[in-house]
Structure 1
């Protein structure tokens, strides 16, 4: 069954009699965080060798046997499966049909919406599916603000807008960077835009932004290298495509500002969320390469690529790479004109 957003926190604290949970979506950090919380809630620790077993992608066939096994020290046993895919469906169905009292945690980033595994879990009476998607907009701003407030730290609005533009693709990275920022500001301190840029500007996870800015600037090799790094860091293909759409929409708004009389440099300065100062030149260059009509078409292609990842069954990474590199190739073609 699907779990309503307002019930998720309660379930993470106490899964009750549920026998399995599927954590799916694009936020890998959030999936891992929730999986860890569930394992600890059931087994009392995440590394108890008698009560917790972890299985990788090539061990799906062991799920049913591990679920049926008893803990030597008593208590409920937890089976945690990394990178679960539809290939695990038969094994999970067998496990749920058995009498074992183990608790199954399935981590499945990027799982297709209508896939067999998700359908099985959502229809099962004793299993729960929880979506884990990146937060954005006001929800992300609230996450950043509330995290800083726990350290009794205030944040300026322009700093908050800039941070929300840099973070959010992965909750684990977001929380880590905000905590680093809190340490820099100190208790009862205040975060302004220069402090935010100083602490978060060189974040390695921003390789995704590097890929997108390189793509719209027409730099194919740089876009390819940065995209490779971003995906190696665990960014899901759908997350890349959503970030690409957001980047293109920011360029669209800047283009509209130019139609109202602003120069490209002025539009870049006025962009919301703010453009990191080291990327302003690339942003201005993109504005010179992409017309409003071309940006409209690029947004449609990004949206269609995301839909293809979810519906066609084709390899999501291939669809994602083709979309981003295609964007870079169109930018490169515009540079040659």
Structure 2
């Protein structure tokens, strides 16, 4: 069973009683941990209960496949349903889980935590096709999902957030759910519980120093033709464990926005009015650089850059070359040829 993204959070809090095993996977490790914890809490009250929760890892189960059935069938000393968690799950466990699902024993909920498993992953295919199993994908928050995460987090603390502050946070957070939660908790502590609105100056004062370098910074560097900034941002992205596909897609989204606005301007729509169609709206600090990019980049040049980005993403998935090198090479080439570049 493949859990739709829109129902992933609801399912994690209250999974179907017929589901025996659940794979939680994806590039957002923080979100994987968050949804895995929700699944655990759907069965036990204390996520640290040693009598009802057992932790295994990929290597343990690979060496001793029978452990899965043994732990699933075990009875808690203190009573109650048990949870078996398997960390760092990979395709090496595909046969193990397939055999277990053919004749599951016991009533324990089995939770597999995986990384960014590709669509061809054997483990993914098993969890997506079996009726008694489910797969939950955990992708990085984007401009559609992140605003709700921010609002829900601050509202739990009795706070509200202004549109400007929300726009700033959407621009500077979202690469990892765990980091996003941590930064928002810090912001709420800074503002004080039940103290009214979080304004832009609050967000800048609390978040600005630690979260200003995001995937959007890479996209801006490329579109502005700033090679030095691009190199610095790529190093930071590597330190934050951003993968090449995520970086390429982030830059592609930026160029898609440029292409859309450039098209509207070509049709005779004033630039400021065209920018008003963007959702979420541009953060004020990047509005002027974005306008400069629209004025300099032609629709033809933007289309060519988008084609290069999509081709590189495809090559990252199907060639043997290191994805990071392919990504960096393409971004540097686009940056070097950018019409905004000051030579």
**1:114 & 1:283 partners in 2: Cα distance?**
38
Q: CA deviation at 1:201?
A: 1.9
Query: TM-score with structure 1 length normalisation?
Result: 0.78
Q: CA deviation at 1:300?
A: 3.0
Map of 2:83 onto structure 1: 78
Alignment deviations for residues 11-45 of structure 1 (CA, whole Å, 9 cap, x no partner): 53355342211123333221110012223433544
Map of 1:326 onto structure 2: 330
- 1:310-325 alignment, distance < 5 Å: 312=317, 318-319=322-323, 321-325=325-329
- 1:84-99 alignment, distance < 5 Å: 84-99=89-104
- 1:45-124 alignment, distance < 5 Å: 45-62=46-63, 64-69=65-70, 70=74, 73=77, 75-101=80-106, 102-124=108-130
Greater helix proportion: 1
Map of 1:153 onto structure 2: 159
Checking the alignment, whether the CA contact within 8 Å between 1:156 and 1:190 is kept in structure 2 is: yes
Map of 1:39 onto structure 2: 40
Alignment of 1:144 with 2:150, yes or no, is yes
Q: CA deviation at 1:232?
A: 4.1
SS at match of 1:82: strand
The CA RMSD measured in Å over matched residues stands at 3.9
Map of 1:20 onto structure 2: 21
Checking the alignment, whether the CA contact within 8 Å between 2:13 and 2:41 is kept in structure 1 is: no
**1:336 & 1:158 partners in 2: Cα distance?**
31
Alignment deviations for residues 222-269 of structure 1 (CA, whole Å, 9 cap, x no partner): 5345334434434454433332222223444565687669899xx999
**1:14 & 1:97 partners in 2: Cα distance?**
20
**1:148 & 1:258 partners in 2: Cα distance?**
38
SS at match of 1:96: helix
- Which residue among 188, 199, 203 is the counterpart of 1:192? 199
Q: CA deviation at 1:119?
A: 1.2
- 1:260-275 alignment, distance < 5 Å: 273-275=281-283
- Aligned residue pair count: 332
Q: CA deviation at 1:295?
A: 2.2
Map of 1:246 onto structure 2: 253
Gap change, CA 1:273 and 1:302, over 3 Å in 2:
farther
**1:71 & 1:226 partners in 2: Cα distance?**
51
Gap change, CA 1:64 and 1:76, over 3 Å in 2:
farther
Q: CA deviation at 1:50?
A: 4.7
Q: CA deviation at 1:156?
A: 2.3
SS at match of 1:137: coil
**1:224 & 1:83 partners in 2: Cα distance?**
31
Alignment of 1:213 with 2:220, yes or no, is yes
**1:143 & 1:333 partners in 2: Cα distance?**
38
**1:330 & 1:164 partners in 2: Cα distance?**
26
Structure 1 gaps of 5+ residues are none
Gap change, CA 1:202 and 1:303, over 3 Å in 2:
farther
SS at match of 1:21: strand
SS at match of 1:274: coil
- 1:157-306 alignment, distance < 5 Å: 157-186=163-192, 187-204=194-211, 206-220=213-227, 222-252=229-259, 255=262, 273-275=281-283, 277=285, 290-306=297-313
**2:335 & 2:244 partners in 1: Cα distance?**
21
